[in-house]
Structure 1
Amino acid sequence: MKLKYLFLSLIVVLAFSCDTNDEDYEFVQVATPQIMNKTAFRSSVEVDAPKDIETVGKIYAYKDYIFVSDESKGVHVIDNSNPAVPKSIKFIKIPGNEDISVKNDFLYADSATDLVVFDISDIDNISVVGRLKDVFNVYDYNVPLEAQAVDYANYDYENDIIVGWTITTERRKKQDSDVLINMFLDGGRVLNASESATGTGASLARFQIMGHYLYAVGNYEMAIFNIQNLEAPVLANTQYAGWNIETMFQAEGYLYLGSTNGMYIYNLNNPALPEYVSEFTHWEGCDPVVVDGNYAYLTLRGGNACGQLESVLEVIDVSDKSTPKLAGRYELENPYGLGIKNNMLFVCDGTAGLKLFDKTNPLEVSFVKSYDDIQAKDVIPLEDKLLMIGGDMLYQYSYVEKGVELVSEFEL
């Protein structure tokens, strides 16, 4: 009997060894979603006391307040009535949140598949006043960058929400890139009125408010909401927006969508149904964009999941929206967000710090100054000050001749 079991064990070992060497197989990093029932998920929104941020996301400014997102967890509210001494005052728990926009004291936030509306007219008594369910068919599931495949086997799209991920190493049969792409897209359905007060987002934003409409972009879809009745928005339309959309910027009746492969331009002649105008294509890279007049400025970050080529600042001539053209390219180290104030272009160059460029002549953008002792992720150039986040810090600067001067540093 012992010889029999030894023989069977030997067969198993030999079979596994032969299979391991089979060129048709490979070891793959597989992401499996951590899920929550939608009912429990939707009931978990609440307003809490201030707390430390776990993972700094995006920044938004409205009146005397700064909102900083905690990736997929919610939004921290900072009282900035005294920029020299900002103070964290609230944490709005919004699971699955990435972006917000504010108009006339109503805050709109994505919560995975839903749009949630908050009344913030009394900042001490923030309340939920509305929720549109399942309006985002495509939202950013924040699949870990190291994932090579996604396992949606136990995910029920209709009744579950993805709240996190588990990474395991599995031995799988090799699949081409098209199959992996389909796993991401198909496996889980992934992939102003003149008197109004509207907040200001940074260049990494996916939400924009123009007039009576809120525009929100996901990986490849745009959702358009009519917010004429601020506390009861209505989903007006959804449409294909492009491929791998990451950011959105609005200027003079146009939307500029930054993707990993280019920049898409849409006009808002019919604000309920943005119309595709053109596309500027570049190599693959993470791509926020801002626009001033006849020129768009975008950064491309290479490396990791963003592409394999160099990191640059590109200047695009958009005077003819139907045929955007490259007007200039400048090397950077690790760029993220950017912003414009008059003729100064502020570029967040990641670990290389904040860089300032003079764009008086957009065809010959010139380097002015670098603040390289900080980490810079994104900026909001307000009328009287520059807001910037980087690492776990919020920086505020005043504008000075040919540069900026630090007003305060606030640990998030």
Structure 2
Amino acid sequence: MIKRGKLQLFSLVLIFFTCELSFFIRVTDANLSRTVDPESNNFLKLPKSNGSPIKIGHFNDGGTSLSMGITVVDNIAYVADYYQGLEILNVSDPSDPVEIGQFFDGGWAADVKVKNDIAFVADYDSGLEIVNVSNLESLNKIGSFYDSTNGGYCNSVVISQEIAFIADKYDGLEIVNISNLASPHKLGQFIKGDVVGLDINGDLAFLADREYGLVIVNISILSNPTEVSIFSDGGHPMDVRVIGNYAYVVDYDQGLEIIDISSIQNPIKISVYNNMGYGHPYGLGVKNDLIFIADGDDGLDIVNVLDPWNIEPIASYDTNGRSYDVEIVENLAFVVDGSNGVEIFDISPIYLNDTDTSTTTETSTTTETSTTTETSTTTETSTTTETSTTTDTSTTTDTSTTTDTFTTTDTSSQDLILNDLSWLPYPIIGGIVVVIMGSIFYLKNKGNAIQTRKTGELSEYTDLLDQQFDDWDAKVDQKEGKKLR
């Protein structure tokens, strides 16, 4: 019985250490995010973030302000304020944004894009307005486009070269030639349901249609856009961004949906994220492997989409208003927050080792020239690095603009394990549980063995007494027999 107890204890300890090893591996792997090498499209492991965005600035001019859309160019933020038109802010000091210009002609500004000192304002029922912003002290409208085929409302706009693609709600997708800014004219139109957001990728337009879902349109012939396919799950898409083989759709009812568009004729939803709060997402921004969701009353949500099949929430910030859109510029997130104006966040804490590439790297190939290049160096694993300063080495890029470089260190996972000891209490607790359970098993089996031994001794003593009584009875019977004779 003692041997069987020891065997049970040994088996329990063996199972524990097997589980602990598995748990340790899982925890270590969980603290290593996966990213995609842009060259090979393979998943690579990188330390992931545990940080949160930090609010550093805020602008609100009060009154009837309702910030809906935003574009930031060269430290100037162009804000589409629904009731106050186009507002222009100097955000060179993000902690203290200052209004430096405004254009308002009575429309309802819902979105804005800026190209070459020209602002294209989606002005809802006033159509697309074109404003010269080269002189901030004298903003003037130089052109406009409006089409009321079905009572359209210009809700969103994307500018590509000399073409404006407009999400015009009930007038669908409007394709407008803007080569002559003073006299833009329509090239083509695709009418479906209620188009409120869009993105352009090559010869395809991806429409967020609140009635039909994600509608994919072939725009290779601008005068004759044609439907390619539709993805619908009964929700109400508000906006969309396309990156590679995936369309990231924010749906008013369902949250963030990732649609696999590798087969453009058959888009398939592969994952969805919904924080189950009170908000409804309206817009989104993208930076590397992170999606920033303007989640209405729930503020700003940030998720990791390194693995598109497994969306991972990273951080969130509950703003004081209703978030409609977000613009990501380097390490800053600009959130248009409805009646709360514009909120500015530092998102650098979200990234680990974002700018540290000074340690020795392990590479499979390196650049063969020390001349200035605009591409990232090739390495086995990738750590996103963004820099606005000039570097001059033979294996890095020399640039004054933001670039993505991909490097890795041999000790990234080791440093992460040593620095992040959040896993440590679990094996300690597990060890204590094993000791307690082992002690119980051991004492129980030892007690059983002692009880069995005592039972055996008592049985032998009882048998001995029974034998003695039998002998005594035999002797008594013998004596009684003699007396009867």
TM range (shorter): 0.5 to 0.7
Structure 1 match to 2:186: 235
Cα offset, 1:87, TM superposition: 0.7
Q: Which residue of 1 aligns with 2:18?
A: none
Deviation at 1:140, TM superposition (A): 5.5
Q: Could you say which residue in structure 2 is the equivalent of 1:38? A: none
- List aligned pairs for 1:246-285, cutoff 5 A: 246-260=196-210, 261-285=212-236
CA gap of 1:387–1:114, structure 2 versus 1, over 3 A, is closer
Structure of higher CA gyration radius: 2
Give the structure 2 partner of residue 379 of structure 1: 326
Query: 1:116 and 1:377 mapped to 2: Cα distance?
Result: 21
Which structure's residues are more often strand, by fraction? 1
Structure (1 or 2) with the greater helix fraction: 2
Which ranges in structure 2 are unaligned for 5 or more consecutive residues? 1-60, 353-485
Q: Is contact 1:347–1:356 with CA below 8 Å preserved after alignment? A: yes
Whether contact under 8 Å (2:144, 2:182) holds in the other structure is no
Shift of 1:275: 3.1
CA shift, 1:366, in A, is 1.2
Q: Does 1:212 align with 2:201?
A: no
Displacement of 1:356: 1.6
Q: Which amino acid aligns with 1:293?
A: G
Deviation at 1:345, TM superposition (A): 1.3
Aligned to 1:351: 297
Q: Which residue of 2 aligns with 1:340?
A: 286
Do structure 1's residue 395 and structure 2's residue 343 form an aligned pair? yes
TM-score normalised to the size of structure 2?
0.53
Q: Matched residue pairs, number?
A: 284
Q: Distance in 1 between matches of 2:122 and 2:325?
A: 20
Runs of at least 5 residues in structure 1 that lack an aligned partner in the other structure: 1-49, 143-204, 303-310, 405-412
TM-aligned CA deviation for residue 219 of structure 1: 1.9
Task: Using structure 1 for the length normalisation, give the TM-score.
Answer: 0.62
Q: Secondary structure at the match of 1:90?
A: strand
| Counterpart position of 1:95 | 106
- Between 1 and 2, higher relative CO (CA 8 Å, sep ≥ 6) is seen in 2
- Superposed, 1:39-188 pairs within 5 Å as 52-71=63-82, 73-97=84-108, 98-111=110-123, 112-132=125-145, 134-139=146-151
Q: Deviation above 6 Å: which 4+ runs of structure 1?
A: none
2:463 corresponds in structure 1 to: none
Q: CA deviation at 1:113?
A: 4.6
Identity, % of aligned positions: 23
Deviates more, 1:323-332 or 1:115-124: 115-124
**Cα gap change, 1:140/1:76 in structure 2, threshold over 3 Å: closer, same or farther?**
farther
Q: 1:232 to 1:341 in 2, by over 3 A?
A: same
Cα 1:139–1:94 change in 2 (3 A) is farther
Cα distance between partner residues in 1 of 2:69 and 2:348: 26
Q: Does the C-alpha gap of structure 1 residues 128 and 80 become closer, same or farther in structure 2, counting only changes over 3 Å?
A: same
Aligned counterpart for 1:289 among listed residues 240, 262, 283: 240
Match of 1:305 in 2: none
User: Matches of 1:372 and 1:278 in 2, distance apart?
Assistant: 36
* Pair 1:102–1:116, CA change in 2 (3 A): same
Q: CA deviation at 1:358?
A: 1.1
Aligned residue among 360, 364, 377 for 2:306: 360
Q: Cα RMSD between the aligned structures?
A: 2.8
